Amino acid sequence: MSDRLHRFLFEHADVRGEVVQLDDAFAEIVRRTDHEPAVVRLIGEGLAAVALLAATLKYPCALTLQLQARGPLTLLLVQAASDGSLRAMAHARQPVPDDAPLDAQASDGTLAITIEPESGGERYQGVVDLAGGSLSAALEHYFRESEQLLTRVWLSAREDHAAGMLIQRLPASEVAGGDADAWSRAEQLAATITGHELRELAPGEVIRRLFHEEDIRLFDPMPFRFRCRCSRERVAAMLQGLGEQEMREILEEQGQVEVHCDFCNEPYRFDAVDIEALFTDPAVRSPDSGESH
């Protein structure tokens, strides 16, 4: 089944892992954009990355991966929520070289991981420089610097298929018993995976082929899907924040105010009646005045 993340654990050892494949969500996000192949692949890798990262968290939250750089790619922003929803956006100021190292695609860049608890608790953010020439290498750098956890990440995206795998060494306090060589074996075995295998083989088959000699515990798969959190109400609130004068100037020049969501490209149009309603106190609005539509 597509758009599923499969978690696994080495029994009596210090290793856990995940394999994710995203087909429908990736394809839907790409369908709504007009990016060149190099940017599409980075979006696919970013989607697989946030799915892997979100599944490692122990409490409901929203997780954001943000890559900012001087160019050619200037922004990659990918988000995952605990309900399995995914969305992504990217900006480039000039053509992004295909199959080039990440530091050539996004020069002088930084990678930020932001975690926002759904309960409203303290927000966490870790920021690292891009390192290693790929998004997977940058994520490994993030785990070393911000989490102090030995972590390996593999990401691959082509056409409508995005996939990823993560293995992580657990803190010693979380391990009952002990297999001192488990992490070394897991790392060596996982490193034999190819991007094609990661995208095309079922996650269970990937795990079986790599670790068939290990005592593995599999967990129920976690579903993911594309869902944008934009809405007409949120766009209206944003327009109110820009101010009445600016909205009326746009109306006079263009006849309507049109906003496209950066994530899903959904258009939101506000005519003169809509703008009047946004900036009219409901307490004094006449009964027959127009409402947003």
Q: Whose CA is closest to 72, among 50, 48, 49, 96?
A: 96
Residue 204 and residue 270 share a domain: no
Asked whether the beta carbons of 60 and 82 are under 8 A apart, the reply is: yes
Task: Round to whole Å and give the CA distance between 206 and 186.
Answer: 13
Q: Say which residue the tokens 């899903």 belong to.
A: 264
Q: Are residues 160 and 272 in the same domain?
A: no
From 38, 48, 22, select the one nearest 154 (Cα to Cα): 48
Structure tokens at 113: 């991981």
Whether 292 maps to a domain, the answer reads no
Residue 24 falls inside a structural domain: yes
Q: Are residues 112 and 250 in the same domain?
A: no
CA-to-CA dists, residue 162 to 15, 44, 282, 293, angstroms: 24, 5, 48, 37
Nearest to 4 by CA among 155, 244, 274, 220: 220
Structural domain includes residue 29: yes
The pLDDT confidence band at residue 293, using thresholds 50, 70 and 90, is very low
How many independent structural domains does the chain possess? 2
pTM for the full model? 0.86
pLDDT for 1 equals 53
The residue behind tokens 């990823």 is 164
- Give 103-157 pLDDT, tens digit per residue: 999 999 999 999 999 877 788 999 999 888 999 999 999 998 888 889 999 999 9
Q: What is the CATH number of the domain that holds 103?
A: 3.55.30.10
- pLDDT of 26-83, one tens digit each? 999 999 888 999 999 999 999 999 999 998 888 888 999 999 999 899 999 999 998 8
Up-side HSE of residue 181: CA atoms within 13 Å toward CB?
4
- pLDDT tens track for 223-263: 999 988 878 888 888 888 888 888 888 888 888 888 888 88
Structural domain range at position 29? 4-226
